[in-house]
């Protein structure tokens, strides 16, 4: 730490790096001090783009002034990178999924423990203003007793916006592993641990042609993993929910990504892939009360980008992707578990893997982590400290 700023190193300078770099501006206590990528041409381009030194992993791991690493490599590389980081005594925030299987992810958690390092993992959107508000509303009984829920993510996939989408259509990819973490983590943080899942899957398109700009434009991808899943979820509390995740849908008429149904009304939950938005409570008579989160910490829209789904349109996102790393730094400083703790991340990954197993083997699956005791959720004071206020 110099001048009150904590130096971090980022490994993996692909598509998601822009999100992290833009978000880092919202965390004045964080300084991105090093970039690593195993593609030297890309590393040079990204290093020039952001004016941050590029280096190889060994050099980064040997630097005493960088204690915290953010792992933005593709999922198949997460384990090797995170384990090498722990062996060098670094704390790691990892993008999702933590590992490509629950078993691999558990090994990563054990490795962190062995070397006395802290580990946190995506998604960190649960730290966002809108999701804090939703949990507060549920806790305050705004919709009475929770009965059930439904969650829907249905788009046409990655090939029209991601410059390198191939791996997302292979085993280890697919909508449940890619986007499921946001939805499942949001549900679990609102409704508690999951007990069991039951799912079916299908593949809508055997091939995908990359239409995103860049080096892979025109590439034809043979799809190697199901791209539509419908799952039934049973929570330990007795609450039941449905979850649909698909990359085979051009358009749908479903308004909200997540709805929670209670004895007194419905809570409409904003996009769990983002930090902000307006939660809405609808009472028994359909009267709506909106809860705008744009004035709250990690709730103000700040990042103007092209809409991934309608490229001719610009949107302003509430995308504080560096929040998880800031939480990890605060967790080390205050000697606590990060809010995106290994316990939560492993439970969410267990749910994701169980959905795939259930769909493949055609039977309900009880989660091996069903009896997990989930960590507490952050208070407003925690968030203020994490963002450096």
Ligand X SMILES: NC(=O)c1ccc[n+]([C@@H]2O[C@H](COP(=O)([O-])OP(=O)(O)OC[C@H]3O[C@@H](n4cnc5c(N)ncnc54)[C@H](O)[C@@H]3O)[C@@H](O)[C@H]2O)c1
The neighbour count for residue 329, using CB atoms within 10 Å, is 25
**From candidates 5, 7, 29, 42, binder to ligand X by CB under 6 A:** 42
Longest CA span, the chain: 62
* 75-104: contacts with ligand X (CB under 6 A): 75, 77, 81, 95-96
Whether residue 123 has a cis bond before it, omega within 30° of 0: yes
Question: CB-wise, 72 or 258, nearer to ligand X?
Answer: 72
Question: CB-wise, 281 or 317, nearer to ligand X?
Answer: 317
Of residues 205, 160, 197, the one with CA closest to residue 176: 197
Q: How far is the CB of 165 from ligand X (least distance, A)?
A: 9
Is 127:378 a contact under the CB 8 Å cutoff? yes
Asked if 61 is part of the footprint of ligand X (rule: CB under 6 A), the reply reads: no
382: left (phi over 0), alpha (psi -120 to 50) or beta: alpha
Q: How far is the CB of 71 from ligand X (least distance, A)?
A: 8
Q: How far is the CB of 83 from ligand X (least distance, A)?
A: 12
H-only helix segments in the chain: 17-24, 40-50, 57-61, 75-87, 102-114, 129-139, 174-178, 180-191, 323-334, 342-361, 380-386
- CB-based burial label for 269 (10 Å; 0-12, 13-18, 19+): buried
Asked if 16 is part of the footprint of ligand X (rule: CB under 6 A), the reply reads: yes
Stretch that binds ligand X, among 32-40, 130-138, 200-208, 329-337 (CB under 6 A): 32-40
Q: How far is the CB of 127 from ligand X (least distance, A)?
A: 15
Q: How far is the CB of 179 from ligand X (least distance, A)?
A: 9
Asked if 38 is part of the footprint of ligand X (rule: CB under 6 A), the reply reads: yes
Asked if 14 is part of the footprint of ligand X (rule: CB under 6 A), the reply reads: yes
Is 181:96 a contact under the CB 8 Å cutoff? yes
Asked if 33 is part of the footprint of ligand X (rule: CB under 6 A), the reply reads: no
* 125-184: contacts with ligand X (CB under 6 A): 162, 164, 178
Asked if 108 is part of the footprint of ligand X (rule: CB under 6 A), the reply reads: no
Asked if 15 is part of the footprint of ligand X (rule: CB under 6 A), the reply reads: yes
Q: How far is the CB of 56 from ligand X (least distance, A)?
A: 9
Q: How far is the CB of 266 from ligand X (least distance, A)?
A: 28
Question: CB-wise, 163 or 364, nearer to ligand X?
Answer: 163
Question: CB-wise, 118 or 162, nearer to ligand X?
Answer: 162
* DSSP one-letter string for 111-169: HHHHTT--EEES--GGGSHHHHHHHHHHHTTTTSSEEEEEEEEE---STTT-SS-GGGG
Is 74:97 a contact under the CB 8 Å cutoff? no
The residues that touch ligand X, with contacts defined as CB under 6 A, are: 11-16, 36-39, 42, 72-75, 77, 81, 95-96, 162, 164, 178
């Amino acid at each position: 730490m110099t001048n009150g700023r904590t130096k971090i190193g980022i490994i993996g300078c692909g598509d998601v790096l822009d999100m992290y770099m833009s978000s880092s501006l919202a965390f004045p206590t964080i300084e991105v001090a090093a970039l690593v990528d195993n593609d030297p041409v890309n590393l040079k381009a990204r290093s020039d783009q952001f004016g941050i030194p590029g280096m190889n992993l060994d050099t980064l791991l040997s630097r005493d002034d960088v204690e915290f690493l953010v792992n933005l490599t593709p999922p198949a590389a997460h384990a090797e990178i995170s384990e090498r980081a722990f062996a060098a005594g670094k704390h790691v925030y990892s993008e999702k999924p933590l590992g490509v299987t629950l078993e691999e992810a558990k090994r990563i958690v054990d490795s962190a423990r062995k070397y006395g390092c802290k580990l946190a993992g995506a998604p960190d959107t649960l730290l966002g203003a809108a999701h804090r508000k939703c949990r507060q509303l549920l806790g305050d009984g705004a919709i009475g007793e929770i009965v059930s829920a439904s969650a829907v993510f249905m788009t046409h996939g990655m090939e029209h916006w991601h410059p390198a989408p191939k791996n997302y259509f292979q085993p280890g990819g697919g909508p449940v592993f890619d986007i499921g973490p946001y939805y499942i983590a949001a549900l679990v943080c609102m409704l508690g641990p999951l007990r069991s899942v039951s799912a079916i899957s299908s593949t809508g398109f055997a091939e995908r042609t990359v239409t995103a700009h860049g080096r892979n434009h025109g590439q034809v991808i043979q799809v190697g993993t199901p791209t539509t899943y419908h799952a039934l979820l049973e929570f330990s509390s007795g609450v039941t929910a449905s979850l649909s995740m698909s990359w085979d849908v051009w358009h749908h008429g479903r308004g909200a990504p997540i709805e929670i149904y209670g004895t007194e009304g419905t809570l409409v939950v904003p996009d769990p892939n983002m930090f902000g938005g307006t939660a809405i409570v609808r009472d028994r008579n359909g009267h709506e009360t909106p809860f705008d989160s744009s004035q709250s910490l990690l709730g103000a829209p700040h990042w103007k980008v092209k809409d991934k789904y309608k490229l001719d349109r610009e949107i302003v996102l509430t995308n504080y992707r560096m929040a998880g790393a800031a939480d990890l730094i605060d967790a080390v400083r205050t000697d606590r578990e990060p809010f995106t703790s290994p316990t939560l991340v492993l439970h969410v990954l267990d749910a994701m893997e169980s959905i795939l197993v259930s769909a493949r083997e055609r039977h309900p699956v009880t989660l091996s982590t069903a009896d997990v005791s989930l960590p507490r959720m952050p208070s407003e004071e925690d968030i203020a400290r994490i963002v450096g206020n």
